[in-house]
Amino acid sequence: LLGLIAWNLLLYLGFLLVWVAKGRRSHRSRQGFATLISPLLTLGIVRRTRSAVRARMPERAGLVGRALSSFLADWRKVSARLVEARARRLLHGSALALMAGVLGGMYARGLIFEYQATWESTFLSDEGAGRLLGTVLAPALSVTGGQLPVLPPEGGTGDAAAWIHLFAITGGLLVLGPRALLMSVETMRILRLRRHLPLDLGGAYFRRILAAGRGERLRISILPYSLTVPQRQLEKLQTALLDLYGSRASITVAEKVEYGETPAASENGDSAWTVPVVLMSLAQTPEEEVHGELVDALGDGEDLLVILETGAYRSRLGDGPDAEKRTDQRLQAWRRVLGSRRVHLAAVDLAGSSSEEIHRELTRAAEGSKAEEAGG
Where residue 342 sits, what CATH number does that domain have? 3.40.50
Q: At residue 281, does pLDDT exceed 90?
A: yes
Q: Kindly state whether residues 178 and 231 are assigned to the same domain.
A: no
204 half-sphere exposure, CB direction, 13 A CA radius: 25
In-domain check, residue 57 = no
- What pLDDT, in 10s, does the model give residues 124-134? 777 777 788 88
Q: Kindly state whether residues 264 and 309 are assigned to the same domain.
A: yes
Q: Kindly state whether residues 231 and 305 are assigned to the same domain.
A: yes
pLDDT band at 46 (very low <50, low <70, confident <90, very high): low
Return the amino acid letter for 158: G
Give the pLDDT mean for 60-68.
71
- What pLDDT, in 10s, does the model give residues 152-199? 666 667 777 888 888 899 999 999 999 999 999 999 999 999 888 877
Q: Kindly state whether residues 185 and 229 are assigned to the same domain.
A: no
Domain stop point among 161, 176, 195: 195
Phi then psi for 309, rounded to 5 degrees? Answer: -80, 115
**Spatial contact of 347 and 3, defined as CB atoms under 8 Å apart:** no
In-domain check, residue 64 = no
pLDDT band at 35 (very low <50, low <70, confident <90, very high): low
**Spatial contact of 33 and 80, defined as CB atoms under 8 Å apart:** no
Give the pLDDT mean for 35-47.
60
In-domain check, residue 176 = yes
In-domain check, residue 93 = yes
**Spatial contact of 208 and 245, defined as CB atoms under 8 Å apart:** yes
Q: At residue 26, does pLDDT exceed 70?
A: no
Host domain of residue 141: 2-30+79-195
Q: Kindly state whether residues 188 and 220 are assigned to the same domain.
A: no
User: CA 290 → CA 27, 89, 326, 348, distances in Å?
Assistant: 20, 45, 22, 22
Q: Kindly state whether residues 187 and 210 are assigned to the same domain.
A: no
pLDDT score at 275: 84
Average pLDDT, the chain: 81
Domain stop point among 148, 174, 195: 195
Q: Kindly state whether residues 180 and 249 are assigned to the same domain.
A: no
96 half-sphere exposure, CB direction, 13 A CA radius: 16
Return the amino acid letter for 282: L
In-domain check, residue 19 = yes
In-domain check, residue 67 = no
Q: Kindly state whether residues 368 and 240 are assigned to the same domain.
A: yes
Q: Kindly state whether residues 358 and 269 are assigned to the same domain.
A: yes
HEC per residue, 102-128: HHHHHHHHHHHCCCEECCCCCCCCHHH
In-domain check, residue 36 = no
Q: Kindly state whether residues 247 and 316 are assigned to the same domain.
A: yes
Task: Encode burial over 214-249: b for 16+ CB neighbours within 10 A, e otherwise.
Answer: eeeebbbbbbbbbbebeeebbebbbbbbbbbbbeeb
pLDDT band at 208 (very low <50, low <70, confident <90, very high): confident
3-state class (DSSP) for residue 265: coil
Domain count, the chain: 2
Domain stop point among 163, 195, 227: 195
- What pLDDT, in 10s, does the model give residues 244-277? 888 888 899 988 888 888 776 555 445 667 888 9
Phi then psi for 40, rounded to 5 degrees? Answer: -70, -35
Q: Kindly state whether residues 228 and 124 are assigned to the same domain.
A: no
Residue 50's contacts (CB-CB under 8 Å, 6 or more residues apart) are 61, 64, 65, 68
The C-alpha atoms of residue 376 and residue 359 are separated, in whole angstroms, by 14
In-domain check, residue 118 = yes
Alpha-carbon torsion angle 196, 202, 208, 214, nearest 10: 60
The C-alpha atoms of residue 42 and residue 80 are separated, in whole angstroms, by 12
Q: Kindly state whether residues 6 and 114 are assigned to the same domain.
A: yes
